[in-house]
Amino acid sequence: MQSAAAAAAAACIGTLLRCRCSLDPDPARKQGSTRVGFATAKRRPRAVTCKRLLHPTARVDAAARDGVDSDGGGVTRKRLAVFVSGGGSNYRAIHEAAGHGRVNGDVVALVTDKPGCGGAEHARGNGVPVIVYPKSKAAPEGVSTPELLNALRELKVDFVLLAGYLKLVPVELVQAYPRSILNIHPSLLPAFGGKGYYGLKVHKAVIASGARYSGPTVHFVDEHYDTGRTLAQRVVPVLTNDTPEQLAARVLHEEHQVYVEAVSALCDDRIVWREDGVPLIRCCINPDKYT
């Protein structure tokens, strides 16, 4: 199983999350989803996190699922499964942030369709179990969808994070983890998203279009490519003489920051769903403001 849990999270003001907040949009209550399964590993100790003050007309999705103190007490440390297909730089950023207490969670599984990829090697080297999915000719050791779901349940996974995973996740996974799966995409969705838009292909298309701005988008995952609700974005200028590689490097730098911040909010139960279905991040310093 995973190596020992990291040190306690930093105090609220030390959080990475930039609170560029808007006024309270009066979000509606939304019932959280259930988490099933039995743990095969010992629960990690709780980290010190911001005290949560819930708005009277809204609640944080998933609070009930993890036994959170409804009076604003400590938040249970979350268990994360990360899906990768390549080097896994966003996975590494999240794993490092969790290890340094900036994310109130632990990566308890890495799922990949390419067992020899850099992300999988990093996970093995750090004691993170690797699950190969799906089963294929190239990866005969892979598991089926029911086996994947059973493994995630046995590990008591709270949230699924896609970090450069190029396969479309099965609908069964989306249904098993409603509003609990995040993905990061290297463009300002809905522009330059969908099947076939990944890696340098995205940045080549951005430059060819003449767009002046690009940047990463963190979004919730539904049954389709890149169509789930947007949670966070960062804007990166497209320079006059940019190559796809140069633009990709600047966007990737922002990816590592915004994804960690979004995952931190998710693990702190600071995601609030507006009544029209738009997810917002509650500011950890002022609970009446949102990013």
Could you tell me if residue 277 is left (phi over 0), alpha (psi between -120 and 50 degrees) or otherwise beta? left
Exposure pattern of 11-50 as b/e (b: 16+ CB <10 Å)?
Answer: eeeebebeeebeebeebeebebbebeeeeeeeebeebebb
Measured CA to CA, the distance from residue 23 to residue 247 in angstroms comes to 33
Provide the sign of the torsion angle of the four alpha carbons 96, 97, 98, 100, taken in this order. Answer: positive
Longest dimension (CA), the chain: 54
Verify cis geometry, omega within 30 degrees of 0, for the bond prior to 134: yes
- Please give the sequence-ordered ranges of beta strands (E in DSSP) within the chain, or none if there are none: 22-23, 78-84, 105-112, 130-132, 159-162, 181-185, 213-214, 217-220, 230-233, 236-237, 271-273, 279-281, 289-290
State the Cα–Cα distance between residues 31 and 43, nearest whole angstrom.
25
Angle between helices 118-125 and 89-99 (to 10 degrees): 20
Residues in the chain: 291
Residue 185 bears catalytic tag? yes
CA gap 12, 18 in Å, rounded = 11
Q: Is the dihedral of CA 190, 195, 200, 205 positive or negative?
A: negative
Residue tagged active-site, from 95, 100, 122, 185: 185
Residues designated as active site: 185
